[in-house]
Structure 1
Amino acid sequence: MAPPPNLARRRALADGALRVLAASGLHGFSHRAVDAAAELPAGTASNYFASRDALLSAAAERVLELHEEDMAAAHGLIAGPIDREGLIGLMAMSLEFSAKLHRDRYLAIYELTLEAVRRPPLQRTLDTMRDAAVDFTHAQHQALGLGTSREDVATLITLFGGALFTLVTGQAGAVDAATAGALARTMVAGIGSLG
């Protein structure tokens, strides 16, 4: 019988994979580079993830896990219900926070997204993640008393993702609250059920 997996080590490796992707892209991505980024002995990543695809999928899944942790923490600080203006404020805060504090995380996911075009297994992982993100966010909206449909949540996530891409890939540190607020207001204004 095999020993149970060390979840803390798996997370450390996935976090290391995200750091490598953000710093070096796919051309610098290897099991050995991930071991070094995670500050673990050589060969650790290959013991946990037999293939490059498995390691890329673990990195993608870690992004969703971290995103859900951030959303749950933010939700815990908010006394619902909230209205349209409250949603704009939350989205603006999330855009600014993500672009400034988690820039590397999102640079990594953009690398994964582009690579998934050529790797069907990775694309399936990302598609599953997107569905899970929509379900999770929809549940958060419902808990906050917003009448947002699942379809509108999916649209908001698409718009949010495009805005975040622009902010993350622009000049580092150039994101400010006013820009994030204007983008959030425009996104919410485009959703009919929130108007």
Structure 2
Amino acid sequence: MADAAIDLLGSQGARGLSHEKVDQHAGLPRGTTSFYFRTRRALLHGIAARLTDLDIADLSRMTELSDDMADGFTGTAGLARLVMASNAEPYLTRSRARYELALQMSREPELAETLMQFAAKFYALAESVIRDWHASDPAPDPRLVEEQAVMVLTMINGVILSFVHGAPVVSEAAQLERWIQAMLEGGAR
């Protein structure tokens, strides 16, 4: 149900999302979505929760996609591959849905609070991943790791936004990995 709602929000925008449309899209009996998500706000919260679960699962499997060396910052190849995958379906629709939710945040403080809680979980996981990237320093400065997480995730957000817009600023994972490495190296100085 939440996946169908994500698909609708990402492909049709906020106006294309309704309980009835989710039922139809998911092939569910009429009224099923409204039974589980009584209000539009509850449906948006359900979408936010599901997107967060999917994003955290993707970030968690990033190391499986990584084949970079154990010197410098390890793990960046996996992140670059994950980000590049977001330029294809179903990830592109998920990204569009995420940006639609971000636009809703400005009008719905309760949704904003929920999304910020989910973002905090994601940033904490990103910080943990970046801390592990410091192959040459088993105990990197926590402030540095926090700053690097913010820098890398902000840049990645811009890259994904370029995908959503249909004008990618990067065309291959190796190029994006170089950008991530450069950002981490610059932030480490």
Give the TM interval when normalised to the shorter protein.
Answer: 0.7 to 0.9
> What is the 5 A alignment of 1:107-186?
107-145=96-134, 147=140, 149-170=145-166, 176-177=171-172, 180-186=173-179
**Aligned position for 2:80:** 92
Q: How has the CA–CA distance of structure 1 residues 75 and 152 changed in structure 2, closer, same or farther, with 3 Å as cutoff?
A: same
Contact 1:32 1:45 in 2 (8 A): yes
Q: How has the CA–CA distance of structure 1 residues 170 and 72 changed in structure 2, closer, same or farther, with 3 Å as cutoff?
A: same
Among 36, 46, 52, the alignment partner of 2:34 is 46
Contact 1:99 1:175 in 2 (8 A): no
SS at match of 1:40: coil
Q: How has the CA–CA distance of structure 1 residues 80 and 92 changed in structure 2, closer, same or farther, with 3 Å as cutoff?
A: closer
Q: Tell me, which stretches of 5 or more residues in structure 1 are unaligned?
A: 1-12
- Cα separation, 2, equivalents of 1:161 and 1:105: 13
Instruction: Say whether residues 1:75 and 2:70 are aligned partners.
Output: no
Q: Tell me, which stretches of 5 or more residues in structure 2 are unaligned?
A: none
SS at match of 2:61: helix
Quote the offset at 1:80 in angstroms.
8.8
Instruction: Say whether residues 1:23 and 2:16 are aligned partners.
Output: no
Quote the offset at 1:127 in angstroms.
1.2
Among 178, 182, 189, the alignment partner of 1:189 is 182
Query: What RMSD over aligned residues (CA atoms) do the two structures have, in Å?
Result: 2.6
- Cα separation, 1, equivalents of 2:187 and 2:147: 11
Q: Aligned letter for 1:176?
A: S
Contact 2:63 2:78 in 1 (8 A): no
Q: Aligned letter for 1:186?
A: W
- What is the TM-score of this pair, normalised by structure 1? 0.79
- Cα separation, 2, equivalents of 1:181 and 1:60: 30
- What is the TM-score of this pair, normalised by structure 2? 0.82
Quote the offset at 1:145 in angstroms.
4.2
